[in-house]
Amino acid sequence: MPVIRAQKINFSYAEKAVIEEVSFVVDREQMTAIIGPNGSGKTTLLKLINGSLLPDSGEMHVGEKNTFRYARKEIARKVAIVPQETPAVFPFFVEEIVLMGRFPHLGNYRFENKEDYKIVQEAMEKTDTLDFARRRFNELSAGERQRVLIARALAQKPEVLLLDESTAFLDLKHQLRFLTLLKQLNRDDGLAIVFVTHDINLAAQNADKIILLYCGKIYAIGNPAEVISARNMKEVYEVDVLVDAHPQNASPRMTLLT
Amino acid sequence: MLFLFFVLCFVSLALGSVHIDAGALLRFLGKVLTGKVSIESQEELIIFSVRLPRILFAGVVGAVLSLGGVVFQALLRNPLADPYILGISSGSALGAIIGIVSGAGSFYLGIPLLAFCGALITVFLLFIVAGGAKGALTDNTLLLIGVVINAFFSAAILFFLSIVDSLELHSITFWLMGDLSRASLSEIGVAAFCLIVGFILLYGQARKLNLIVQGEETALHLGVDLERTKPWLLVLTSLIISVVVSLAGIIGFIGIIVPHMMRLIFGSDHRLLLPTSALFGASFLVLADTVARVILTPAELPVGVITALCGAPYFVFLLKRKGL
């Protein structure tokens, strides 16, 4: 039973069509990458999955229900999103930021209990953020902030984790650690993961399935070997590439030709 | 914090154009607390029927304006927002004055209702003018718009006050600088009731305020129902502010100073920020009002003069270093 089912989704901002006739499914144990040029609708697609945007036509199912049938808090317990960046106008402690992930599980007048703190603790251990729990969020580096935001998403205890360019600000060590973490969550906790990235090799090496978006439509969908081809890259990105096999695990590897 | 508030109240009870020594004051308070409310001397009369209500009122007004500051700063994600700077106080004062001038004030609740409408219209104006571009709200554009609205409404208030020769309106400073000495006991009761109910309702939204401060997008993703939460917060806050303004006139800058100082001490979590700001705001206005009463004895300054004299430099200071 797939955890996300999108059927012929259409969506437009004002008059401009951003997503057209998009259909795909995401299974529980799957890592799905969404790639595509700037403005191809990747972020919009993520927002359609977590219900903060509703399709103009077509159906988006998360779990058993259509996204428009969910209350905001209810869907926030199923789907968590890690944004690219958050503005930090007011100084919050890192721990407070992660605790906010518990919001969808709490009533208005209820304080967090031991269980909530335990979940937050775990989320911070997994993301390696415990060291700066008592520091202020706005004083952290971009990479550290990104990890805190991931911890907050994990504290939501979702079934689906959406990531919008989350590796963009991470250095190599943390990028690797982060991908290992994602795979762990995916394999051990059965968390479905959908990530948007510009790094095609990263997608090719780590995703089970890749969705290649082009002008709001799905240009190609399938396993990395099916999607990452010199022809697809030429047509979508208008660049010449060489695709060969990664020496370690034989996943497709792309090299830019100049 | 609570202790600070009571000490301030005590000092404020003792000071004034008639000085009352601390021992006598303590004895009197003891008497009241044990339930014997018999007034035996002139001093006791002053304490009980003049100073005590005034101090209570100052506390209520200070708390409400500080809460207003906290909520607007969160909703607009701008630490410089406050009911006075944004023109909400003057909008509400204008509403109240129109009520008095047009005679609508003779209806039950007429004036507070019109004050409320004035406040709401100002909020809508703010959002319409500043809206459109989403980023504009975090920017100082909003403050500029507020200043303009403020100037316009102040001019309108002056206009009404000059064309009408009504006894109720004879003191212009009451509306423009704020005055805590006019409210009757029952009016103070109404304001206190609004404060308590308003605070309890706002407190339930504290966690949502934390999320809204993280950006509307984030709040939405984490499960805040923005379409319902935002209007509800705006209406609720405008309501308690307008009640206070219709009774006390415009008192500025408390909503900026208080939340900012509390944020420095207690951090940005609104579950702490709301109660501490309310308490500190109450203390601050009691202090400011005491200073206003004492400094020129036997004459009095409008309390708004004191808050503006402290607040305006503080505002400039905040604007300069913006970093927060």
Residue from the list A73, A96, A156 with its beta carbon closest to the beta carbon of B269: A96
- pLDDT computed for residue B120 by the predictor: 87
Bridge partners (DSSP) listed for residue A213: A218
State the nearest Cα–Cα gap between A223 and chain B, in angstroms.
29
Report the residue of chain A nearest B138, measured CA to CA.
A89
B199–chain A nearest CA distance, Å: 13
pLDDT at B324: 44
Are A89 and B205 inside 8 Å of each other by CB?
A: no
Residues from A contacting B (CB-CB < 8 Å) are 50, 52, 71-77, 80-81, 83, 86-87, 89-93, 96-97, 100-101, 103-104, 106, 108-109, 111, 152, 156
Domain membership of residue B23 (yes or no) is: no
Work out the minimum CA distance from B225 to partner chain A, whole angstroms: 6
Residue A42 near residue A22, CB atoms below 8 Å: no
Structural Rg of chain A based on CA atoms: 19
Q: Where are the beta strands (DSSP E) in A107-168?
A: 160-164
**Residue B216 belongs to a domain:** yes
Rounded Cα gap, residues B203 and B271, in angstroms: 7
Specify the pLDDT at position A200.
92
Contact between chains at B223 and A75 (C-beta distance less than 8 A): yes
The DSSP code for A222 is E
Question: Domain total for chain B?
Answer: 1
Chain A residues inside the 8 Å CB shell of B267: 91-93, 96
Two tokens, residue A136: 């202020």
Which residues of chain B have a pLDDT value below 50? 133, 135-136, 323-324
* Contact (CB<8Å) A104/B138: no
- Residue B227 domain flag: yes
B222–A108: do the CB atoms touch at under 8 Å?
no
CA A62 from chain center: how many Å? 15
Min distance A220 CA to chain B CA atoms (Å): 28
So what's the pLDDT on residue A16? 85
pLDDT digits (tens, 9 = 90+) for B173-191: 677 778 888 778 888 998 9
pLDDT digits (tens, 9 = 90+) for A196-234: 999 999 999 999 999 999 999 999 999 999 999 999 999
3-state helix, strand, coil in chain A (%, to 5): 40, 30, 35
Residue B36 forms part of a structural domain: no
Residues of B in Cβ contact (< 8 Å) with A112: none
Residues of B in contact with A111 (CB under 8 A): 271
Structure tokens at B28: 């009197």
pLDDT at position B106: 65
User: pLDDT of A62-98, one tens digit each?
Assistant: 988 999 999 999 999 999 999 877 777 788 899 999 9
Beta pairing, strands A31-35 & A209-214: parallel
Lateral strand order in the sheet of A4-13:
A16-26, A4-13, A57-62, A65-66
Residue B4 lies inside a defined structural domain of this protein: no
C-alpha–C-alpha distance, residues B97 and B199, integer Å: 27
Nearest CA in chain B to A106: B207
Q: Is residue B224 in a domain?
A: yes
Token digits for B74?
């969160």
Average confidence (pLDDT) over A184-190: 87
The pLDDT of residue A24 is above 80: yes
Average pLDDT of the residues of chain A: 90
Tell me the C-alpha distance between A49 and A41, whole Å. 12
pLDDT for the residue numbered B140: 66
**Among candidate residues A240, A177, A252, A210, the one with its CA nearest the CA of residue A42:** A210
In a domain, B26, yes or no: no
Q: At what angle do helices B226-248 and B206-213 cross, to 10 degrees?
A: 110
Helix ranges restricted to H, B267-302: 270-294
The average confidence (pLDDT) of chain B is 81
* pLDDT value of residue B136: 42
Give the CATH number, domain containing residue B310.
1.10.3470.10
Q: Is the pLDDT of residue A117 over 90?
A: yes
How many interface pairs between A and B have CB atoms less than 8 angstroms apart? 80
Assess if residue B60 is contained within a domain.
Answer: yes
- Domain assignment of residue B317, given as a range: 53-321
Residue contact B263–A104, C-beta within 8 A: no
